[in-house]
Amino acid sequence: MVMFKKYLQLARLPNAFTSPTNVVAGYLTVTPISELNYVNLGILMASSMLFYVSGVVFNDYFDIEIDRKERPSRPLPSGAISKKTTIQIAIVLMASAITLAFFVSWSSFVIALFLASMIIGYDYRLKNNKIFSPITMGGTRFLNVIMGASPALLSFQTNLSGLGFVASSVFAYVVVITLFSKKELSGIKSKRHTIVLFSIIYAIIAAITIVTFLGLFKTWSLVILVPYTIIMSVIFKQALVGDASSIQRVIKNMVISIIILDSVFVSGVAGLSYGLSTLLFLLPSILLSKKFYVT
């Protein structure tokens, strides 16, 4: 049982539930309710979760020397799980994710290959680059949304403008999270830095409001957007404290809030009932975050 818990810690299980909601947002943005294929959607959601878990396992594999100094109690640096086992798990998970996407459509398969390349590129080298690190991490979530839309991507009726807005908003939000994660251990001394980062989030909120009133989304999106805005304001106050423990809580809460942001988009394209259903992913994510680390 103890060993099983170590594997769950390695997988960052609470975060894994933030990934399939990206797929749901992308899928419903381009697929009419009358044409929903729950099998394809379920397969892509499973593929997305496998991609996420494989990504964090690859990350720990490549970061083992750093983690031996900064996070020695974690499963891999502590020796609870071997390097050989870790890389085997990562490869199997990623191969499974790509295979699942292949069974949905060729376009899903191609997007999955790009997503796999970006994940490995980030974990192996790009995460250490100040410029490419946040862009690449945001790019993986962008492609995750696009993978959700991939079965209908080649259709002439695809809502490309809506899809582009959703994917770009998720991209920008994850870029902000990544920039905060760079200060996870040191904290943020400059409140100006925090204000600049959160201005991006408030810009996303403003943009969603504007495009909703312009008719791109149903007004149901605003029902979820209001509590999302309140939550972001609470996290903003938390971030202004600036010490390392506060920043770690900020990252944890922002990661979990990806589900809420996706729910805003789902409500806007498919209606409130689908948006509320998307919020159900919060339950396992929040409950598991109390027992397993998120960052």
Domains, the chain, ordered by start = 2-289 (1.10.357.140)
pLDDT at 1: 61
Written as six digits, the tokens of 86 are 């870790």
**CA–CA separation, 149 and 152 (whole Å):** 6
Which residues lie closer than 8 Å to 241 by C-beta, 6 or more apart? none
- Tokens 């990623």 belong to 94
**CA–CA separation, 278 and 266 (whole Å):** 8
> pLDDT digits over 83-111, tens only?
999 999 999 999 999 999 999 999 999 99
> pLDDT digits over 273-292, tens only?
999 999 999 999 999 887 77
List b or e across 141-175, with b for residues whose CB sees 16 or more CB atoms inside 10 angstroms. Answer: bbbbbbbbbbbbbeeeeebeebbebbbebbbbbbb
pLDDT at 197: 95
**Residues of the chain with pLDDT > 90: what percent?**
73
Give pTM, 2 decimals: 0.94
pLDDT at 292: 73
Segment 33-42 mean pLDDT: 95
Which of 14-28, 125-139, 177-191 shows the lowest per-residue confidence on average (mean pLDDT)?
A: 177-191
Q: Are the CB atoms for 262 and 17 separated by under 8 Å?
A: no
Written as six digits, the tokens of 60 are 């720990």
Segment 190-212 mean pLDDT: 96
Q: Is the pLDDT of residue 182 over 80?
A: yes
Residue that wins the pLDDT comparison between 156 and 117 = 117
Which residues lie closer than 8 Å to 199 by C-beta, 6 or more apart? none
Residue that wins the pLDDT comparison between 21 and 245 = 21
CA-based nearest residue to 85, from 65, 67, 93: 93
pLDDT at 257: 97
Q: Are the CB atoms for 62 and 87 separated by under 8 Å?
A: no
Alpha carbon separation from 248 to 81, 123, 183, 185, 188 (Å, rounded): 25, 20, 9, 8, 11
**CA–CA separation, 274 and 14 (whole Å):** 22
Quick one: pLDDT band at residue 295, thresholds 50, 70, 90? low
Q: Are the CB atoms for 220 and 272 separated by under 8 Å?
A: yes
pLDDT at 156: 60
